[in-house]
Every structure is written in C-alpha cells, then in structure tokens.
Chains A and B, each alone.
Chain A
Amino acid sequence: MTFACREDDVPPGEGRNITLEGKRVALFRTDTGWYAVDAVCPHKGGPLADGIVCDHAVTCPLHDRSFDLRTGQGPGEDRVSAYPVELRDGAVYVAVGSPAAAPVAA
C-alpha cells in the first residue's frame, strides 16, 4: 500500500489524479467509500477524475461512459484497472501493484 493523500485533500464526491509508483490513477471520495482506478478513459483519453461520481460509478466528462469504481468495468469491452484503497488515521493508501476488484475503505 502506498500513501496517496490526506482524507481532506479530495473534496467529498469528487476525484483527483495522482501518480503512484509511475502509474497515473484517479482517486475518488464518495458516499460509499474511496476508490482508485486508472486515470485515463479507454475511450478517447478523457480525464476520469473530472467525471461525475455517484455511489460507486464515475461518468467520463467527455462522452459520458460510465465505469464501476469497484471493478473498473465500463460499457462493453471498455474497462480500467481498479486498485484497492485503504483509509488509516485520515490518510489514504492505494495498492497500485495489485489491480483487482477493490475492497472498499468506508
């Protein structure tokens, strides 16, 4: 697990990008927990961190494709990697080495 940011670094309900171990990931803070997925939309490279987030989906700001933040699954074949996130003492950690269906830190 790699340290990413403090809890208040991401405004509630939004996403922000960060590079961790050479990987660009979008980190989201939602009502149901924290999630991390690849930063770039596989469709045409849209910045997923700028998308609208609901419980556990993000909608890409460019052409409205929606991705499940827990699994990274998007429409059809489109998908991004999802990474496990943990919250400890107000700090957020991401396991970028192990893309997987991410367990949620509440």
Chain B
Amino acid sequence: MSERDRIVIVGGGIAGQAVAEALRERDPDVAITLVCGEDALPYDRIRLSEILVDGSDAATLALRPEEWFADHDVEVLLGRWVEGGDLDAGTLVLDGAEELTFDKLVLATGSQPLLPPIPGIGLPGVHPFRDPADCEAIRQSATTATHAAVIGGGLLGLEAARGIAAQGCDVTVIHLVDRLMERQLDPVSAAMLEPSLADLNIKVRLESATQAITGGDRARGLQFKDGSSMDADLVVVSIGIRPEKTLANTLGLATNRGIVVADSMRTSHPRVWSVGECAEHAGMVYGLVAPILEQARVAADTLLDRSAAYTGSILSAKLKVAGIDLVTVGEADGETSAVVSDAAARTYRKLSVRDGRAVGAILLGDVRGAEALMAAVRAAEEVTDPLDALAAASAAGPADLPDEAQICNCNGVCKGDLVAAVEVDGCTTPREVMSRTRAGTGCGSCKPAVIDIVAMAAGGLNEEPAYLCACRKQTRDELADQIRSQGLQSVSEVSQCCGTGRDCGACKPALAYLVSEVNDNRHREERHARYINDRVHANIQKDGTFSVVPKMRGGVTTPSELRRIADVAEKYEIPLVKVTGGQRIDLLGVTKEDLPKVWRDLDMPSGFAYAKAVRTVKTCVGEQHCRFGLGDSMGFGVEIEKAWEGLHTPAKVKAGVSGCPRNCAEATIKDIGIVAVEGGWQVRIGGAAGASVREADILDTVETKAEAMRLSTTFLQYYRENADYKERTYDFVPRIGLDEIKRIVTDETIGAALRERFRLAKAATVDPWLERDDPYHPRQFTDLDQQPEDDGPPTPVVVGPPEEARR
C-alpha cells in the first residue's frame, strides 16, 4: 500500500458525504475521494419536500459549501460515473476509460425510485419524486394541471401531495391498502390523519390498485383494478425505492434486495464497504437518513481498522407537512398500549409496550414529549404504566431529557451533543450550535427543541440578531445608527455607506422605510427602492393589473361617494367591485395606465390598502344608534383614522373601535383596538386574526377619548421606531413585553418625545394619489410604447430615434 491510504467513495448522496465527514473527523491523513454521479455537490435530499412547496432554489440544498471540500482535503469528482473495476487490483473504471485506484472502496450508490411496470408509466406528466429535476417538473405541471394523483400514501407520497396542493392544484393520494402510512400508523391514527389532509385540499382514495395510466400523448387519467377510473393530468409515483446495485453486481459483490453487508458494513469483498439506501443489513434496507448516519459512523471506524458494529436501527419518522404534527417511532402496535386521544381536536398519543418495555409511539396533533418517548423506545426502557409514561412525557421539558435523547433525527444529534456544543465548544446562539452539530439543518422540524435546549444550556437565549439585510448581516439598529450619525437621506446613500441593498435588492424596501422613519418623513424618496405597490400606490394582482381601494374612514360613506365609485367602475369597465373585510370598497382589475384617471374621477384619498401603513380603522355604529352603545365608536374611529392615515409603518397596522364590549368592530383582534367600556375606553395592542390569531393585550383603560388617543398614538410611534421590517404588532408586543411597553408609553418624557416625532412625521404625509396630477416621472404609470398622459407635467417626452428627435 502507498504511504497514504486512499479511500474512494462512490456516490455523493447523504450517505457518501456522511462517510467522508466521519472519516475526516477520525483521521486527518487518509486520502478521500468522493465520486458524485450527479453534477452537483452532495445535497440534502430530504428538503426537496420543502422546495416542492415553496419553490426555492435547489442550490440552497448543498450539505456543505464548495470550500468545505478543499478545507477538509476531500477530493470531489462531479458528474462522473463509475462503471466497473477490478476489486483485487484496486482499480475503478470511470466513464468508459479513466482508472482510479483505491485501497478501500465504499459504495454509497443510493437507490432509484420504484416504478410499477404498468401501461402508461412512461407517459409525459408522470414523475417520480426523487431529485431536484423531478421537483421542478412536478411544480411546473402542478401550475397548469387540473387534477393530480399521487400513487402511494406513505410519508413521501403525502409530502408530494402537500407540495402539489400548495400550488393550488387538486390532488388525490391513491393508496393500495386500507390505511395511509401503514408502516408507521395504526388504523385509528391513520384514519384521523385524513380530515387534516382534507383541510389542505388533499383527497385520499384507499384500497385502490392502479392498473394503468391512461392517455395517448400524455397522462390523462388512472385506471384501477376494480374497473373504476379517475382523471389525472399530473401523476406522481411514490411507492418505494429500488436499491442501486448495478455497480455492485458488475463488481461481483453479493447482493440481495440491496448490497449485502455485515455488522462491520463490509460487503462480501474485504476491500469494499457499503452504506446508505443501497446497503442491506440483516435483511433490512433503510430509506431514512438517521440509520444511514449510524451506518456511516460504523463504516468510518471499521475502514480505519477500529472495531465497531452496526446492529440495526429503530425507525422514527416525522411528517414534514406544515399544519400536521406527526411523529412516530418503532412499532405501531405492541402487546399492550396506552392511548390518549381527542377525536374533536384530532390528537392521538400512543405508547406501545412489549414484555414490559417501550417498543413504539405514535404522536399525532400533539407531539409534546416526542424526544423523551423516542429515547424511551430506542433504549427499550422498562415501562410499568404506559399511561403514566405518556403523561410524564408531555410534561417533560428539555431539562428532563436524558443526554442520549435524540433531538435531530435527520442528523442523529442527541441532547448531550447540543449541550456539549454550548458548554465545551463555547457556542452561544442556536445558529452556532446548529452549524457545529448540524442539528436542525435537515428537515428543520426539531429547531424549536434545539432552541429550547440551547437556551437551557446557555442559561438563557442569546437573541440571534434579526438582520434587516441578510446579505450584509446588518441589523435595523446598526443601520439606523449609521443613518442618524451620518445624516443619510436616501436608500442610495445608505447603499453607498453600508453596502446594503446592492447584492439582492431584497432589503431595499426595508431600507426605504428606515430612511423615512429616521428622518421623520423628510428623506429623499427613491421609488426604485419601493415595491411596485408603493411606486403606483395600488396593489398588484396576479395578472399584473391593480386594485384600487379609496379611503372610507371608519367604514362610513355617503351617497355621492358611492355614486362616484359606481360611475368610475362603469367608465373604466372595472371587472370586480367588492366590499372588503376592512369596511370599504375595492375596485379590482384596473390597468396601471388607468390608475391616475381612476383616482381623479373618484376624487377620494388613497386607502393605503397596498402599503405597509395604517390601513383601516374599523368601527361599529356605537352609541348614537345602537341600544347597547357606551361610547361614540364611529366618530372616534373616524377621528383616529384621520390622525394616523398616511403614515407608513414597519408592517401594516389595522385598528378598530367598538362601542361596547360586545365588540362588533372586532377591536380585540386588531393591532390597535379600542373598546368603550362603562366609564371609559379600553386600549388594546398586538391583536391579530390573519395568519396568526392573537387576542390583543390590554394596555390600559382610560377615562377620556383624548387619553385613549394619546396612549394609542404613543404606542403606534414606539412601534414605528422599534419594530423590525415586516414585524406585525402581534410579534412585536410579545417580543418587547407588555410591561416594558407600558413603562415606555406612560413615561412622561419618553412619551412626549415619541409624540413629537409622530407629529413631525405626520405633518410630512401627503395623499399619494395626488401624483395623478404630479407624477414623480412622466412614465410613472406607462410603458415605453404607451404615450404618457397629456395632462402630466410639461416634461418633454421624446419617442423615436434621436436623429428624428433632434430635427
């Protein structure tokens, strides 16, 4: 053998990468070569499910950046295929010719998706779900398909269905047997899963054997054994994996379902190991990451002549579908079991026991204590009373978990590893701990647990800064300081001084807000830093047209306003007129060039429905009309809207004023809500009923309208100056804490200063719809081949080549 042992790993999947990493951790010298059949660095296959939902770039999946391989002296061959070789001589043939020599060889060739040999399986529109190309193809088809079918109701099939449903496409999961995920779930929990899937627009069809995929030129439907059929112009097949053993067979290794390995992870040839979805150990082929990582650690030991043995893995699974919490471990049934279930709440918790020891758990809808139960099953802990054990697990906090409790199943990281990262390696934030241990970097579902444990180990959580500009890692406060100290007036100046807003553009709107807020609205406005909504003061629609919502303070209008709205809708042939949930009227489908004309004819101010700004102040009729009314909610609401309108805010702000605690204006779920009560007004903050639902906290109850106005305005300004961009009050209030907010807004000096800055900012607001007569640029609303409006400013607009123009 050469002075430096060369280990060649064939296959750059999660398995191949894990072997390379485990080897390098153990031995700084051994030469490592990783041959990747795919033309990309090893990537995190399991996050494809996430990418299918949100469409983010597959390039973000890389397990390690390119530099890692140089830093760790791992040679990588990308897009190279190993076709055969001579094991005794220690040589491999790559792409027909080149020879690569090795002392030891690891086959981590993974698997291929299993495709049933049925007619139509090769038609366009039929896809497996295995790699980024599949993912992209499915996403593409899902945007145009009318109905999709996913064949296979296992973990992966359900995740595929979720991804398709998220594109707004109808989808049905076809499953052969009588319950979903039969390997992980018992019949009751499997049945309970169905309504949650239905909520996500995923239909389920059980006990259906697909006989053929029909359609001549492309998939158009499925034909089932029982004679029935369904339409489907997108078909995803997810019925299992076929271990990739072509190379192993060519090399003459013993194979069965997969490449047969012993406890040492060695194959039938003494120089060859195998790890991952291609390997078969004790009759089992594992299709999950956690066992693969265990195998990789054993293989790394035995490759370096240390003794180690792999004895099989207990499987655990988490469903990566937002909105459904499901964790399973071990067996679905035991000799005895304890079940705590609430059908209405769709929760199901089960612990199965055999011979007095924990053998499996299912947690659906309520996954508290998942780590503790998984640890109990893995350690086959003795359980005398399973019901007690279930209850104890749900009460367990991070401190109660044993060090061996596995927190991140994807990367096999235990609580002890996380604690050591803090106590031994000196990590201080969850982010550092995650990058050191890789916990939370797989499917991400364990992140909350990781954060809890880091907080416990570090004695409190070191807040990770929320960067305003992720590309430059600068926080809102740092940038605000720069703007203040250097007197910066515009986004371009900030870009020049701080570099922000140059690389990705994503932070430009946040900077635009910050510049205006710090300068009390007396900044230099640059429209290129604003979203299109704020360049044309209307909300862009999916077809590129815009919606127009005129101001209708407190939901109060007049016959003449309504008449104008009606006339405008007819004159400009506006496709839809709709009463909004914010008590005003929306004109939808207006073209960009019509916007100034529509505003002119409406002759009403902007309702700011497109902006991060004060939106609406919803009111009820109140004491003047209602028999229960305790205060003039309508009048007060209109007054508040006048006081706050036109102000931009870190995220949209919605307010409401109700005339009594019956609360018809829903003030308790508003960013700022005011409720008339016996003897005064209750002021509430931080409520929401959108993506998050949160009851607003009571800031104070005061006697007069003037006090209520003062208090809520002080809070509004405090929020304007301190919230992160896009941080709604429902996140801001709990982050700062109600007591702290109370202290600040009731402090005479601080409060007075906040109100003074509010006054300055408000004084500089204008109705943006006045740009109808005074556009910031002649082509604010028009494309290059449209003539800008005649009644714009007299700026000369030249069309045509310069020669003609000069004449």
Contacts A9-B797, A53-B505, A54-B501 given; does A14 touch B784 at CB 8 Å: no
B532 part of interface (Cβ distance < 8 Å): yes
Name the A residues within 8 Å of B95 (CB-CB). Answer: none
Complex Cα distance, B659 from A28, in Å, reads 52
Please give me the residue from chain A that is nearest to B528 by CB atom. A13
B21-29, B54-62, B275-283, B628-636 - interface stretch: B54-62
- Select which of B56, B504, B782, B800 is within 8 A of A54 by beta carbon: B504
| B543 partner residues in chain A, CB cutoff 8 A | 45
Q: Are B506 and A59 in contact (CB under 8 A)?
A: yes
Q: Which residues of A contact B57 (CB under 8 A)?
A: 75-76
**B546 to A, closest residue via Cβ:** A50
Rounded to whole angstroms, the CA-CA distance of A49 and B779 in the bound complex is: 13
| CB closest chain-B residue, reference A74 | B57
Count how many chain A residues have C-beta atoms less than 8 Å from C-beta atoms of the other chain.
43
**Chain A proximity of B263: nearest CB distance (Å):** 41
CA distance A88 to B785 in the complex (A): 20
Are A75 and B56 neighbours in the complex by a CB distance under 8 Å? yes
User: Which residues of A44-90 have CB atoms within 8 Å of chain B's CB atoms?
Assistant: 44-47, 49-55, 57-59, 61-66, 75-77, 88-90
Chain A positions within 8 Å of B59 at CB level = 75-76
A4 within 8 Å of B (CB atoms): yes
Please give the residue numbers on chain A whose beta carbons come within 8 Å of chain B beta carbons, in ascending order.
3-6, 9-14, 16-19, 27, 43-47, 49-55, 57-59, 61-66, 75-77, 88-91
| Residues of the B chain whose Cβ atoms lie less than 8 Å from the Cβ of A4 | 784
* Residues on A with beta carbons closer than 8 Å to the beta carbon of B56: 75
Q: Across the interface, do A52 and B777 meet the contact criterion of CB distance under 8 Å?
A: no
B508: interface (CB < 8 Å): yes
8 Å CB contact of B785 from A18, A44, A62: A18
Q: Is B97 an interface residue (CB 8 A)?
A: no
Shortest CB-to-CB span from A85 to chain B, Å, is 13
Least Cβ–Cβ distance between B134 and chain A, in angstroms: 12
A51 to B532, CA, bound (A): 7
CB within 8 A of A12: which of B528, B797, B801? B528
Number of residues on chain B facing chain A (CB within 8 A): 44
- In the complex, are the beta carbons of A13 and B785 less than 8 A apart? no
| Known interface pairs A13-B526, A17-B784, A90-B802; A50-B505 also in contact (CB < 8 Å) | no
Chain B residues in contact with chain A, CB under 8 A?
Answer: 55-59, 132-133, 136, 143, 501-506, 508-509, 526-532, 535, 540, 542-544, 776-777, 779-780, 782-785, 797-802, 805
Q: Establish whether residues B784 and A52, one from each chain, have CB atoms under 8 Å apart when the complex forms.
A: no
What's the Cα separation between A59 and B530 when bound, in Å? 12
Are A66 and B505 within 8 A (Cβ)?
A: yes
The minimal Cβ–Cβ distance linking B115 to chain A, given in whole angstroms, is: 22
Check A6–B785 contact: CB distance below 8 A.
no
7 smallest beta-carbon distances between A and B, as pairs? A13-B528, A54-B505, A18-B784, A75-B57, A50-B532, A11-B777, A17-B783
Partner of B783, one of A18, A54, A59, A76: A18
Chain B residues, Cβ within 8 Å of A76? 57-59, 132, 136
Q: Which of A13, A62, A88 contacts B529 (CB 8 A)?
A: A13
Q: Collect the chain B residues with CB atoms within 8 Å of residue A75's CB.
A: 55-59
- Is the Cβ of A16 less than 8 Å from the Cβ of B779? yes
From A91, which residue of chain B is reached at the shortest CB distance?
B802
Chain B residue with the shortest CB-CB distance to A41 = B544
Determine the chain B residues whose CB is within 8 A of the CB of A10 once the complex forms: 779, 784
Of A52, A58, A62, A90, most B-chain CB atoms within 10 Å: A52
Task: List 9 additional contacts besides A75-B55, A89-B802; criterion CB under 8 Å.
Answer: A6-B799, A44-B542, A45-B543, A51-B532, A52-B531, A54-B501, A57-B504, A61-B540, A66-B505
Q: How far is the CB of B788 from chain A (nearest CB, A)?
A: 9
CB atoms of A53 and B801 under 8 A apart: no
Q: How far is the CB of A64 from chain B (nearest CB, A)?
A: 8
In whole Å, how far is A25's beta carbon from the nearest beta carbon of chain B? Answer: 10
Bound-complex Cα distance A34 to B137 (A): 33
| Contact across chains for A52 and B783 when beta carbons are under 8 A apart | no
* B532 surroundings in chain A (CB, below 8 A): 50-52, 61
Partner of A11, one of B136, B779, B799: B779
B505, A59: Cβ atoms closer than 8 Å:
yes
- Residue pairs across A and B with Cβ atoms less than 8 A apart, 19 shown, are A3-B800, A5-B784, A9-B779, A11-B776, A11-B780, A13-B526, A14-B527, A16-B782, A44-B542, A52-B505, A52-B509, A52-B532, A54-B502, A54-B505, A66-B505, A76-B59, A76-B136, A77-B133, A90-B802
